[in-house]
Amino acid sequence: MVSGGVFGAITDIETIEAQKYAIIEYERIRNDKNDIDRIVKNTAFNRIQVEIIKNYLFYDKHKREDGTLQRFDADFYIAQSWHRLSYSTPNEIKEHDILLLKHESMELSLVLQGYPQELAHTITEEKYNYAKAAKEYYFALKNQQHRKTRQTPLNWKAVKELQKLQNMSNIREDTKNHTERNGGR
């Protein structure tokens, strides 16, 4: 884990690495028999709530707009949040990780009331906009990492020494060129 809670140092979800990570992590989550208890320990959610949310996110098949039934596609943000909820200390869990649980709980509640999944998701986004919060978190993290690499403090003493060396090298080169042009004089 690197700073900011990003596993494998992936911050750009548009990459093939991010998609591969999400697919692998979803399989790991589906096979994890202890994550529910860890999430209960790390959050204010009870075991039944977390178990229902896990089933909804990772096992259940959902009716799509085209009428097909299938599981949700693997999502990098959700994989990351679930991982932090499962394996991090409560201090390391991010606000949007908890928002994921609230979002999925409300969305599922609406689905159980008869709302189509897509509509339930849209309504839920108005109150618990997990996707927006996760994107903002990773955007900020990516910018923070970019600034760190760009803003390496300069050692001005070393810069001045380097300039002196370059000047001396230029003087030597000029002298050498002058000597060669003037036949060794």
Q: Quick one: 127 and 158 in the same domain?
A: no
Number of domains in the chain: 2
- Which tokens in the block code for residue 171? 């003087």
Nearest by Cα to 102 from 75, 129, 76: 129
Tell me, yes or no, whether 1 lies in a domain: no
pLDDT tens by residue, 38-72: 999 999 999 999 999 999 999 999 988 788 999 99
> What's the pLDDT score for residue 175?
57
pLDDT tens by residue, 66-91: 889 999 999 999 999 999 999 999 99
- Prediction pTM value: 0.74
- DSSP letter string over 113-176? TT--HHHHHHHHHHH--HHHHHHHHHHHHHHHHHHHHH-PPP-HHHHHHHHHHHHHHHHHHHHH
Q: Quick one: 91 and 113 in the same domain?
A: yes
